[in-house]
Structure 1
């Protein structure tokens, strides 16, 4: 499959689900009929220190992106958008809670800031001063609470599928929102990488991220198809659950296989870029197929200077809960930063956007 074949892909692509070989495809269902059906709480391991030139605000927003809320905060504070920080991008069609920061050196926040934000659908729940700007990726996790409706709610197989995900984990797929409607972000990334990536054309790195995410999903899809997405291959780079610690497994032994079965550690895939992979043997040979299939994307990322990184192929569902009601079902779970709740939903219900 060449890079040109991207034009023929229907979006979202038919990447395989891990549960289908055992249970068949899921029953159709609905989610996110309203923002209140999709709730996300950002989890930080620290709080503002109480002093410093940055004002941190813990906000609740409804039906707007993090970037929209950040721009509004900058405008009301008379600050540059570059002086506003946040740890992660949260969904638009949702009710989400997260921290934002704005740099206010030597001055107080504008009078009535919380009220002005409230008029724009951004509720301030807490605030405090801190010496530093809030940086991307410093949050530990996100807590999700999702409402499912439709035919899937009455299908007993949904709860069986959920129990299996809790037991064996879920594939750490990048969700379709990463690629934009109809895969637009990926197609724009391909065009930009072909002519040479420049920061001024992709200031937030969104297009670079779309290309890397697609390549990761392609590698993960191959592992799902052959059933090795949750097992350690010879030469695998294992990632310890809940951490960034990783090590190369030249040959899995019984102890490592048992730890993988307990979800203590996970196999990993490559986020393409410049640098030498620490995978060896069979695992490295699999990674080498990506530039063979997508030379334009892989070569463009290397020329852009993106550093090679790794991402776990599997996730543990932390604090899982399932509650049933009349014609509805609520799921609650915590995922590490960078993980997509839609990756969980696609294993449980059939929906055109998943």
Structure 2
């Protein structure tokens, strides 16, 4: 199912990931490493490799179990990315030579704590889009609107697996057709199921002109995971929404009473009722209700139009909260083809 656009279908057309350098992602940490301790942190730039592959290679080099190599999150394979890897390593023990195909260590530091999933709060993106059909004035106007209002905070296609079938696999798991013993794989299927429900709620609100505060909504504070529910929308709430201080939210479905009330609850229940296999399965797995912003404000968004030989490019720079998807931003700017699906521009095939 195609998902609705917050700003209407873009008129511009183009392609992304024409090579790995066109899609750059970098973690942004909110603290400095203390320079001491038993945990070795490695700041690694990888080109055409996925995070798990690099982690496994580090484990082999250091002679430790792969589970001991930690990261804050997964990064794109078809891109150039920079992220921290962490592993336990005694201070007095020599650090081996690190050589991993498609990856290089830019910095190594000691720290007193292990790197855990979700430690970083922000990702920095530098993306180059090759434009094939566009009107610069129209695209400039659209970009200004997106800079002011943000985009729909859909979960991107990466959330649904390499072949886009994680929701289907989740349904098979819920029905007992398949038995998933691997905890990590099971977590991916559960995550995909919740993400699908969230995307459908967001899609419904845009399609039915409900992307605005309504009675019973739960509002997320911008830049925070905190939220509050307002049974009757007040004028000051509308002002805060217009200023971007608070954001609309949608259900990350799970067991328990709905967080939203009244009209907002009716809207979400109407959507969720269409997916009983997913909702029943998530309840059976004892996942709890939570909220996620329906809106995605884009920090420090800037852009330039460039010409290279006969090709036109749009270069974008922006910051996104961890857990949000650059493709959700790109889809509102340009109708794009992902060239990485045609060309495996990697140093190793797996």
Same fold (TM over 0.5): yes
Which of 190, 203, 214 is the aligned partner of 2:196?
214
CA contact (8 A) 2:197 2:272 kept: no
1:133 matches 2:121? no
Residue in structure 2 matched with residue 343 of structure 1 by the alignment: 328
- Displacement of 1:227 after TM fit? 2.5
1:40 matches 2:25? yes
Structure whose residues are more often helix by fraction: 1
SS at match of 2:173: helix
- Displacement of 1:32 after TM fit? 0.9
Residue in structure 2 matched with residue 123 of structure 1 by the alignment: 104
Structure 1 pair 182–73 and aligned structure 2 pair: CA distance change class (3 A): closer
Residue in structure 2 matched with residue 266 of structure 1 by the alignment: 247
1:99 matches 2:84? yes
What's the CA shift string for 1:299-334, capped at 9, x where partnerless? 111111222211000011101101111111101110
Quick one: distance in 2 between partners of 1:137 and 1:198? 28
- Displacement of 1:127 after TM fit? 1.8
CA contact (8 A) 2:14 2:337 kept: no
- Displacement of 1:197 after TM fit? 8.6
Structure 1 pair 304–107 and aligned structure 2 pair: CA distance change class (3 A): farther
Gaps of 5+ in 2: 340-350
CA contact (8 A) 2:61 2:96 kept: no
Residue in structure 1 matched with residue 157 of structure 2 by the alignment: 176
Structure 1 pair 247–174 and aligned structure 2 pair: CA distance change class (3 A): same
What's the CA shift string for 1:102-130, capped at 9, x where partnerless? 122566353212xx13xx12121222122
SS at match of 2:181: helix
Gaps of 5+ in 1: 1-12
What's the CA shift string for 1:40-63, capped at 9, x where partnerless? 111110122222221111111111
Residues 138-177 of structure 1: pairs in structure 2 closer than 5 A: 138-177=119-158
Which of 13, 16, 20 is the aligned partner of 1:31?
16
CA contact (8 A) 2:153 2:328 kept: yes
- TM-score of the two chains, using structure 1 as the length reference: 0.89
- Displacement of 1:153 after TM fit? 4.9
Structure 1 pair 196–109 and aligned structure 2 pair: CA distance change class (3 A): farther
Residue in structure 1 matched with residue 67 of structure 2 by the alignment: 82
- TM-score of the two chains, using structure 2 as the length reference: 0.90
CA contact (8 A) 1:62 1:96 kept: yes
| Aligned-residue CA RMSD (Å) | 2.0
Quick one: distance in 1 between partners of 2:191 and 2:29? 23
